[in-house]
Structure 1
Amino acid sequence: MDSNAASGTGDRPMPGQQALSSVPPEIALEALAASAIVVDDDGLIVAANSAAQIQLGRKAAELIGHDPHDLLHRDSHGHSLPRTRCRMRNALLTKDTRHGSDEWFVRGDDTLVQLSWLITPYTTDTGFTGALALLYEQEKPQQSDDGHSAPLTELDRLALLAETTTQLTSTLDVDEALHRLAALTVPRLADWAVFDLLTERDEVRRVLVMEHKDGILVEREDLQGPMPPVPAESPMPLSRALRGAASSLAGPATYQGPPDSGIAVEQQRLFTATGMHSAAIAPIRGLRDVLGALTLGRGRRHDAFTPADLPLLEDLTRRTGLALDNARLYQRQRKVAETMQRHLLPQLPSLPGLEMTARYVPAPDASSVGGDWYDAFALATHAHALAIGDVVGHDLDAAAGMAQLRNMLRAFAWSHPQAAPSDVVTRLDEAVMHIAEVPMATMILARLTLGEDSLWRLRWTNAGHPPPLLVSHDGQAQYLDGAHGILLGTGLDRARPDAVVVLPPRATLLLYTDGLVESPHHPIDHGLDRLRRNAASLAHRPLDSLCDSLLEQVRPSDNDDDVALIALRTPPATQEQQHGPPHAGVTGTEA
């Protein structure tokens, strides 16, 4: 059966057109002058043309079968980027048509090259579906005779608006969005970009002033800061823009007379400090309110802004307003969600002779609220419960599930203060299956008791969670691998074991979630080894300093998960303990 029959059409290709199915993808790509790679539905490279191999300094065998994000994509320092932050990877997997500018890729010789990319769906008549990625060096803007960008053609204007939309819709950070817009407009349109934003209390801040100087963008912090209030009747261009009026032109002469407001004074200062001879000012409008104003100014280039430039400026600020609206909404939701998460985490109890501290670090991306949690509470005299866990998911549902799980655990443990941790977790698992809205979860529950010998004992059970780490004061570190059972929510009926360990004097016990040790680029054993070695080297540090250093040194740079950590340290040995036999070590495991 030929390829046309297989496609169900039975037609021949149109004259001058060759069906993709008649040649392998790598041969079809050779017709493209640009660097091109094709990925399959799993996001793995299946073909790369010669141009891509030359530009990336890698043979086809070094590219095929790899995830292009993991293999190639880097930040400007050569570090790996978290997958959740990568627009290119997301476009490849969703097969959307997307564009990105001036991002960094690592060549086979470990040097970095700055490339732009274009992603588009790629299919063949044989049924192959995937995505095509074109990689290319961005052409620099053409320069006029006086060393500044030449006037934009209509095509240039459309390309600028498209690039603005792409850049602004791919971030939910207000500051990042403003910096991106400044980089798009300076020096292409102006020598200066000035952003004045209105706060939720209708106060004005000059949040960003960018200058093109000696071929680079320079942020002028000396011109940034709080601004006077917006006058209600002032006819001055910036005041009108901040009230939502149409865009307008301005120059030093605009503000030469007696100032009618504090904002006019600041504008006089701006024109004097920057040397701008021409400016275009437009409001930044959101869906409901005016969010601020953008001023583009020219100082070194001789041509002045004209009314013909204002429609482009208004198109730019319209897109900026939508982006800022989305970013502010996201930041409000993130703040509410993160506040909720932190309020759900408990205050640690005070245990006689024991030091205890905890940390919670949200994920860096939109999954900032997750199911990571810790808990510590009294059960009876000289007995306390310690718990740490991770509910599957990274959203408000996971945080809500975490709250359910923690509250049920407290109820079961408090109502049976003498029960073994395994019995409490078994009851909790049954409840998860029937009355909780928790898909799956891992956790450790431990019972901490003080013995007659004044030594603390830890009895614990582990439901699919990374093992606790015990570090002696002299730097010996061991994972407590005992009492390991299945995670919660599987529906399987398996006996859960317990294990007991005597905690030596001045020892440190660490309970943590997988965000501290897991990385998409390394096996978890690598992260566990990093944690063990770093914790051993920090054993002499105060407990708070130890936890902060572990988060800084161990947490993977490409981590896109939140982290919970709880640590405790036992008191120094008494005189009797100093002369008695050693007590450290796991003393037993019980099914």
Structure 2
Amino acid sequence: MTEPEAAEPDCRKSSGVPDLRLTDALEAIGAATYVVDEQGRIVAVNSLAEHLLGRSAEELVSQDAHALLHRGPQGQLLPTGQCSMRPSPHAGLIAQTDEGYFARADGTLLPISWFIAPCGTGSRDAGTLVIFHASEQAHETGVCPEQTAERLSEFERLALLAETTSQLTSTFVVNEVLDRLVSLVLPRLADWVVIDLITERDEVWRTAVFQADGNTLVQHEDLQGPMPPIPAESPMPLSRALRGVASALAGPETYQGAPDSGIAAEQRRLFEATGMRSAGIVPLRGTREVHGALTLGRAKKPGNFTGADLALLEDIARRAGIALDNARLYQRQRKVAETMQNHLLPQMPRVPGLEMAVRYLAAPDASQVGGDWYDAFALPGGAIALAVGDVVGHDLEAAAGMAQLRNMLRAYGWSQQEPPSRAVERLDEAMMPITDVTMATLIFAQVTETDDGDWQMSWTNAGHPPPLLITRDGLAHYLTGGHGLLLGTGVRISRPDATTVLPPGSTLLLYTDGLIEAPGNTLDDGLDRLRQHAAALAHRPLASFTDQLLQRVQPPGIDDVALLAVRTPSKTHGETD
């Protein structure tokens, strides 16, 4: 069941509420900084900017930065067309100057030097990062001046660190973290980057080797692959970095002597193959463990790495280590949830005359795995029970709650020879005192074969998307009968049942809302899309029907999907694919 989700850091936010994750990234910059969206509205600001401007974040966020802050040397408002702070960033360019003026909250004019750069956050639309300092003229304003020329030399470094934080913390996928890290440092800082990661089995894997050929990044898979184990006491730079001991500068001469380990031998091969003459090697440290090492190398790029460069690489690697912490944590959570859910989902029974197919798709986000389920089991007397449900929440608790509800429904459905509605009423009554589930939706149905060989279904719907029935001829309609309240409301009312005949060769589709809900589309849009594609696939064998349907509908991946399809026997022969 879909819940409102917290948005990832995104320069597009302008709701008047600061983007807290982006604000935290700006706090790490060490200079007055704010971010604007493509319309020039402030979406995040750090405390140093609040201090210099004399305005709180609440007063700044969602305001047009140009109209609120930017002034001419006499304090006059500037036409938007004359604003030098607007066009360059939105064209993907970097701009800076030591002659600018901001209006403070008390009406005084703040002379500033500023630096602007595009702000990528991993979203489709990018914003603009603005870093500014009080200039020497700020003596008159009472604002503490800074060494403008010295600070300006740090602007690009600060912008890179801010972009690194926002880019890397906006994804929970390890490979995306690595891809973004490579793009951030090449070709800006080096023409080679090497990433060695330590796996969960304490093995070292050379995961990424990229070269910058102009602005094109070339991957060298021949230099990637498994690495020898980390030596316990080797003083060589990469070995120390992988142990999390220290960062170091290195060159081909570093590995010219007899190698003291297999890793040292691999490093000699790396320098020979890449032609790197200077490299900085730093640990990728997480909060609890070392994830690996980052190596930046220069072969054709002018200049050798220095100690000052090493400090910058450590800052970048520290941010990358935190991003890897988050990504690995979510991957572990996802793996546990998927494993638990897959073990809990049952095998379908064999029913003479009926075909059944089930599919379960986990959402890409680890936090979205958990509450969707399906079930089918035989009842006394020969009927078949079908169920599809969705427990509110997207985590391990939802997966555990799903298992509780499924088992309770099985017990009520088997022991009570009653209509589906009565079994669901009993489940609703017992859910709150017995389980930790707060709310859930489900469809519970009983399918029986009639004396004349037809199949009939009775069902009740507890707040769930309606079943879809598709005839062999491609007529598809939703079964809207039997609809009642979702489970967990505390309202005790009689639930309705509905009954229909399933035509020969027809396909019944039970599913969860992840199949029909998509951002920017209404629920009716999703239902119409599902109906159209299901009708077009009516002639397909059932396994092909379900696979092709999922492929065509293309669930957006914000929620997991459970799907149960049942096909009745055809009274004609010659079914074709």
Q: What TM-score results when the alignment is normalised by the length of structure 2?
A: 0.75
Q: State the distance in 1 between where 2:367 and 2:440 align.
A: 17
The residue aligned with 2:368 is 368
* Cα offsets for 1:185-225 (capped at 9, x unmatched): 21221111110011122111011122211312233323222
Q: State the distance in 2 between where 1:362 and 1:336 align.
A: 12
Q: Is the contact between residue 172 and residue 323 of structure 2 (CA under 8 Å) also seen in structure 1?
A: yes
Q: State the distance in 2 between where 1:140 and 1:130 align.
A: 23
What is the letter of the counterpart of residue 378 of structure 1?
A
Q: Is the contact between residue 168 and residue 323 of structure 1 (CA under 8 Å) also seen in structure 2?
A: yes
Q: Which moved more, 1:151-160 or 1:505-514?
A: 151-160
Q: State the distance in 2 between where 1:486 and 1:326 align.
A: 38
Q: Which moved more, 1:206-215 or 1:85-94?
A: 85-94
* Cα offsets for 1:273-326 (capped at 9, x unmatched): 322111111122223332211100001212111233222222222222222222
The residue aligned with 2:334 is 334
The residue aligned with 2:472 is 473
The residue aligned with 1:586 is none
Q: Is the contact between residue 195 and residue 293 of structure 1 (CA under 8 Å) also seen in structure 2?
A: yes
Measured at CA, do residues 217 and 569 of structure 1 come closer, stay the same or move farther in structure 2, by a change above 3 Å?
same
Q: Is the contact between residue 334 and residue 367 of structure 2 (CA under 8 Å) also seen in structure 1?
A: no
Q: Which runs of 4+ in 1 moved over 6 A?
A: 113-117, 121-125, 127-130
Q: What are the within-5 Å matches in structure 2 for residues 494-513 of structure 1?
A: 494-513=493-512
Q: What are the within-5 Å matches in structure 2 for residues 478-497 of structure 1?
A: 478-497=477-496
The residue aligned with 2:567 is 569
Q: Is the contact between residue 83 and residue 89 of structure 1 (CA under 8 Å) also seen in structure 2?
A: no
* Distance apart, 1:456 and its partner CA: 2.1
The residue aligned with 2:558 is 560
Q: State the distance in 1 between where 2:13 and 2:363 align.
A: 18
The residue aligned with 2:18 is 95
* Cα offsets for 1:464-502 (capped at 9, x unmatched): 211111112222212112222222222333332222222
Query: SS in structure 1 opposite 2:304?
Result: coil
The residue aligned with 1:159 is 159
Q: Which moved more, 1:187-196 or 1:256-265?
A: 256-265
Aligned to 2:62, which of 118, 131, 139? 131
Q: What are the within-5 Å matches in structure 2 for residues 79-478 of structure 1?
A: 84-85=7-8, 87-88=10-11, 92=15, 94-96=17-19, 98=22, 119-120=43-44, 131-132=62-63, 136-137=89-90, 138-140=92-94, 153-416=153-416, 418-478=417-477
* Distance apart, 1:442 and its partner CA: 1.5
Q: State the distance in 2 between where 1:459 and 1:401 align.
A: 26
The residue aligned with 1:52 is none
Query: SS in structure 2 opposite 1:172?
Result: coil
What is the letter of the counterpart of residue 189 of structure 1?
L
Q: Is the contact between residue 422 and residue 496 of structure 1 (CA under 8 Å) also seen in structure 2?
A: yes
Q: Is the contact between residue 100 and residue 118 of structure 1 (CA under 8 Å) also seen in structure 2?
A: no
Measured at CA, do residues 300 and 129 of structure 1 come closer, stay the same or move farther in structure 2, by a change above 3 Å?
closer
What is the letter of the counterpart of residue 139 of structure 1?
L
Q: State the distance in 2 between where 1:567 and 1:433 align.
A: 30
Q: Is the contact between residue 141 and residue 188 of structure 1 (CA under 8 Å) also seen in structure 2?
A: no
Query: SS in structure 1 opposite 2:357?
Result: strand
Q: State the distance in 2 between where 1:527 and 1:166 align.
A: 33
Q: Is the contact between residue 370 and residue 396 of structure 2 (CA under 8 Å) also seen in structure 1?
A: yes
Q: State the distance in 2 between where 1:513 and 1:226 align.
A: 42
* Cα offsets for 1:526-567 (capped at 9, x unmatched): 11111111011111222222212222221443x512211111
Query: SS in structure 2 opposite 1:375?
Result: strand
Q: State the distance in 2 between where 1:545 and 1:93 align.
A: 49
Q: Which moved more, 1:394-403 or 1:186-195?
A: 394-403
Q: Is the contact between residue 14 and residue 41 of structure 2 (CA under 8 Å) also seen in structure 1?
A: no
Measured at CA, do residues 289 and 490 of structure 1 come closer, stay the same or move farther in structure 2, by a change above 3 Å?
closer
Q: State the distance in 2 between where 1:542 and 1:363 align.
A: 26
Measured at CA, do residues 176 and 132 of structure 1 come closer, stay the same or move farther in structure 2, by a change above 3 Å?
farther
Q: State the distance in 2 between where 1:439 and 1:398 align.
A: 10
Q: Is the contact between residue 100 and residue 166 of structure 1 (CA under 8 Å) also seen in structure 2?
A: no
Measured at CA, do residues 433 and 252 of structure 1 come closer, stay the same or move farther in structure 2, by a change above 3 Å?
closer
Measured at CA, do residues 489 and 90 of structure 1 come closer, stay the same or move farther in structure 2, by a change above 3 Å?
farther
Measured at CA, do residues 120 and 201 of structure 1 come closer, stay the same or move farther in structure 2, by a change above 3 Å?
closer
What is the letter of the counterpart of residue 119 of structure 1?
V
What is the letter of the counterpart of residue 562 of structure 1?
D
What is the letter of the counterpart of residue 225 of structure 1?
G
* Distance apart, 1:512 and its partner CA: 0.5
Gaps of 5+ in 2: 26-36, 66-85, 97-149
What is the letter of the counterpart of residue 87 of structure 1?
D
Q: State the distance in 1 between where 2:494 and 2:543 align.
A: 37
Measured at CA, do residues 124 and 451 of structure 1 come closer, stay the same or move farther in structure 2, by a change above 3 Å?
farther
Query: SS in structure 2 opposite 1:352?
Result: coil
The residue aligned with 1:514 is 513
Q: Is the contact between residue 376 and residue 387 of structure 1 (CA under 8 Å) also seen in structure 2?
A: yes
Q: Which moved more, 1:448-457 or 1:114-123?
A: 114-123
Q: What TM-score results when the alignment is normalised by the length of structure 1?
A: 0.73
Gaps of 5+ in 1: 1-81, 102-112, 143-150, 579-591
How many equivalent residue pairs? 473
Q: State the distance in 2 between where 1:210 and 1:555 align.
A: 33
Percent of matched pairs sharing the same residue = 61
* Distance apart, 1:128 and its partner CA: 8.7
Q: State the distance in 2 between where 1:362 and 1:187 align.
A: 37
What is the letter of the counterpart of residue 497 of structure 2?
D
Measured at CA, do residues 356 and 473 of structure 1 come closer, stay the same or move farther in structure 2, by a change above 3 Å?
same
Q: State the distance in 2 between where 1:239 and 1:141 align.
A: 40
* Distance apart, 1:139 and its partner CA: 2.7
Q: Is the contact between residue 374 and residue 389 of structure 2 (CA under 8 Å) also seen in structure 1?
A: yes
Q: Is the contact between residue 405 and residue 432 of structure 1 (CA under 8 Å) also seen in structure 2?
A: yes
Q: Which moved more, 1:330-339 or 1:529-538?
A: 330-339
Q: State the distance in 2 between where 1:94 and 1:118 align.
A: 10
